[in-house]
Every structure is written in C-alpha cells, then in structure tokens.
Structure 1
Amino acid sequence: MFLTRFRLNTARREGRHLLGSPHRLHAAVAMSFADPPPHTSTGPRPLWRVDRNNPADTVLYVVSPARPDMTHLVEQAGWPTADTPGWQTYDYGTFLNRLTADSTWNFRLTANPVHHIRRKDDEPTKRTAHMTPRHQTAWLVTRQEQSGFTIQEKPRQKRVLPEGDELQLVIRDKRNLRFTKKPGSPPVQLTTVTYDGRLTVTDPEALRRTLTQGLGKAKAYGCGLMTLAPAG
C-alpha cells in the first residue's frame, strides 16, 4: 500500500477545473495507475481526498495498492517547471503494520454521511444525506466499532456544552456538491463533511481495512479516506 501527497496549484485554471468536479478529479486519479482495479473489486482500492487548508495549500491525498505516477497531474494542475516531481509517495504498508490496540491517533475523514428513508409505506427507500452535526456525528459513532476504533471523549473540564459535547470530534467544511458525469446526464448530488478528531485503536485489523477500503459511500468522489497522525 502507498500514501501519496500531491499539492494542487489553485492559481491554474486546470487546477480549479479539476477541483470543480469530483468526477473529473476521480478520472485524473484513476489515470495515475497503468492498471487500476475495476470498481467492483473487493479489498484495498484507490481512495482519495482533497484537504483545503487554505487557498495556497490545497492537497490531494491518495491511498492505493499500487504506486501512482502523477506526471499528468503536475502538467495539468501542478508546477511543471519546479525542480521537485510535484508529489511524494510513501510506503503505507509499514505504517499500517505498526498499528496496535489501545494506541491513540488524531484522524481526519471526509465522508458522505447518509441514511435511507421512506416517506410513505408504499414507496421505495431513498438515500438521503444527514444535514445536522448531531446526526452526522451519530453516523460516524455507529460505525466506529466495526471500523476498529473508538472516538475519545473530552475531559469533563474541557466540555463547553452540558450535553452533546462529549467527543473529541469537530465537523467542518460541509459541502453540497452537484456535478454531472457527462453532458446531458442527470446531475449527481452529494453532501460531504470533514471530521477531525482523536481515536483509540480497538481492532488493528479492522482499522487497517477501514484505512485501505474506505468508510461510507461515494468513495469514487473523494469520500471515505481516513488518515491518521500522531496524537501530540
């Protein structure tokens, strides 16, 4: 497994063009691999996420079974004349193998928190996005056990609200996305949010699956990739 970091040049029209459509960026990521796995494959798959830290620091992260070649992305949305190649790829497998139970990490996850509702008894269920922070939090909490981690609780002295403020978790950067796959096709609509928090590993093997196979829906469109950082 490999973890790749690519900094996008938002001053270039091509860079903004890619960022404007998850479908276009998905295609650009797929073209980084000579033989990408089919969408129906099981097991580890290419996952990606865009972190918009600020306009001058927009970073594409990719986790993948194969090492990518992002030369085309450098030419389209990077700095083609720079001395460095434009992306950094790291051995992710070594890191994954070092995960141990009860270890603590900061995490970031961009996800598409959804549920299925039926407005009438005689109609089919419909996938609908969770829109409030309370329900978005609950969506992640209900998945933590099977995903190999638990979100840490805040010390009582650091809780601001009397209830609903127990977890070391921040939900931010909500985006309502609307784009088309090709001209004339019906639009795709997604609601995404980014979770920043602190977790404890409960099942290292399950967490490895989460980190390499993604969490939730819309993985092709920049959702599902969780990354970890040392908890300082």
Structure 2
Amino acid sequence: MNPDAHLARIQLNPHSRDVQRDLRDAAQMHKTLMRMLPDNLGPTPRHDTGLLYRLDETEQTSTLLVQAAVPLNTQHLPDNYGHSDHKSLAPLFRALRPGRTVRYRITLNPAKRERLPHDQKTKNGRIVPLTGPEADQWWTRRAAQAGLTLHTLLPTPQRPAQRTPTVKGAPTMRHHLMRYDGTATITDPTALTTALLTGIGRGKSYGAGLLSLAPANTP
C-alpha cells in the first residue's frame, strides 16, 4: 500500500481574535487544530492520526501547514480563521528516490536530557534546549536517521511556543523552536517516509517536527 497524508495550508486572518489567541498560546493552537480531525478517534487522536503543524511567518503573512493521515476538515475551524487549500502528499511519497536532491524546511525543538548529580527532584533528568552549533549538530544527526544527508542548513530562531499554565501561579511553559532550511540528498526513502508521516523530535503538539520537501530545482 502506498503511503499518503493530507496537507492543509491555512493563511491566517490577522484580525481574527481566535488567531490572535492561538498565536499567543500553543496549547490553544493545538486545541483549535484538533477540531479538524474526525470525531471518536479514541484517547490519543493526535498520535494516531499523525497530526503535525508548522507556523511559517513573514513580515506580511502567517501561514499554518497542518498534516495528518486523515482528511482535515477546515470547516470546523473558527469563523474567519483564514483561507485554506488542501492537497494529498501521495505524489511526494512516490517521488522519494535514493540519490535525489531536495530542498527541505522544518521547525524543530532541539533538546537533550540532562541530569545534574545533585539534582534529586528530576529523576529522569531535565530537558535542556540546544542552540548554536549544538542544535545544528543535533539536526544533522536526526536528519541522517531520517534518511537525509544534509548539504546546507540555515537556522532561523522562531518565536517560542508558549503554553499558559492551567494552575494559578505556575510558570508559563516555553518550548524553544528553531527552523531549518536547506538542501539534502535522500539516502533512505523508507526512513524518510516514516519521518514525514510521524514528525521529528519533541514538541509535535506545539508546532515542531513537520518536515516539508520539494525538488531542489523548484523556486
């Protein structure tokens, strides 16, 4: 069976109060986008459908890319949330060939687990965000595991994904995000298909992990 996924591209309406709320709070954004999935999917609908999203921002526009293994119903978004179009990613999966050069874009949450010897409060260690060369090396390793050999990478810091605490007085949760753009060669189409369908790294509920590919000779 050939793999497939569905992609919705939503150009956000900057005047929408729902959009403004979601851009301030990643948990609210996640809740809004989950409305696009079918009902009655069980206790873990994001995981089971592979729902991923990425916010691409310019000085003029904010665009959401939302991907899932099931059709996405943008009619369930709030009124005047934005203009959307849809496409199947089946042609992309059919085009994955070893040795093919592609352009890529991905927003990631580069991080490592670290435990200090004197820290008894966090038995499994703390998640420490990576920046600079450490983040670049992390992405290079993860790309190789996902079936890509990177040729170039351009890191661009993104606005952190913030989550408003549900308990009064608790600190606001912040997820460090870094976008990478560049070119790469496909080495393992099977591993790459899995990475495209399931995402890469942490923070998938908060706008990280969605990998986009295009032929290297396209603008």
The TM-score with structure 2 as length reference comes to 0.86
**How far did 1:108 drift?**
0.6
Rate the CA distance shift 1:38–1:184 in 2: closer, same or farther, 3 A. Answer: same
User: What's 2:81 paired with?
Assistant: 77
Native 8 Å contact 2:18 2:78 kept in 1: no
* Counterpart residue identity of residue 75, structure 1: D
Native 8 Å contact 2:35 2:77 kept in 1: no
* Counterpart residue identity of residue 116, structure 1: R
User: What's 2:164 paired with?
Assistant: 180
Structure 1 distance, partners of 2:87, 2:55, is 17
Structure 2 distance, partners of 1:185, 1:70, is 35
**How far did 1:38 drift?**
4.2
User: What's 1:164 paired with?
Assistant: none
1:2-28 Cα shifts (integer Å, max 9, x gaps):
111111011333221111111111111
User: What's 1:205 paired with?
Assistant: 190
**How far did 1:30 drift?**
0.5
* Counterpart residue identity of residue 101, structure 1: P
Structure 1 distance, partners of 2:53, 2:205, is 8
Structure 2 distance, partners of 1:137, 1:101, is 23
Aligned residues: 208
2:99 paired with 1:102: yes
User: What's 2:66 paired with?
Assistant: 62
1:21-58 Cα shifts (integer Å, max 9, x gaps):
1111111111001235643886650111110022x321
User: What's 1:140 paired with?
Assistant: 139
Instruction: Give 1:1-232 correspondences, 5 Å limit.
Output: 1-35=5-39, 36=41, 38-39=43-44, 45-54=50-59, 56-73=60-77, 75-78=79-82, 86-120=83-117, 123=120, 124=123, 125-130=125-130, 132-152=131-151, 168-180=152-164, 182=166, 184=168, 186=170, 187-232=172-217
User: What's 1:157 paired with?
Assistant: none
Native 8 Å contact 2:161 2:207 kept in 1: no
The TM-score with structure 1 as length reference comes to 0.82
1:170-225 Cα shifts (integer Å, max 9, x gaps):
10033334322535384322111101111110000110111110000010111100
Q: CA RMSD of the aligned region, Å?
A: 2.1
Native 8 Å contact 1:23 1:181 kept in 2: no
Rate the CA distance shift 1:47–1:184 in 2: closer, same or farther, 3 A. Answer: same
Rate the CA distance shift 1:178–1:4 in 2: closer, same or farther, 3 A. Answer: closer
Where do 5+ consecutive residues of structure 2 fail to align? none
Q: State, as a whole percentage, how many aligned pairs show the same letter.
A: 26
Where do 5+ consecutive residues of structure 1 fail to align? 79-85, 153-167
Rate the CA distance shift 1:43–1:99 in 2: closer, same or farther, 3 A. Answer: farther
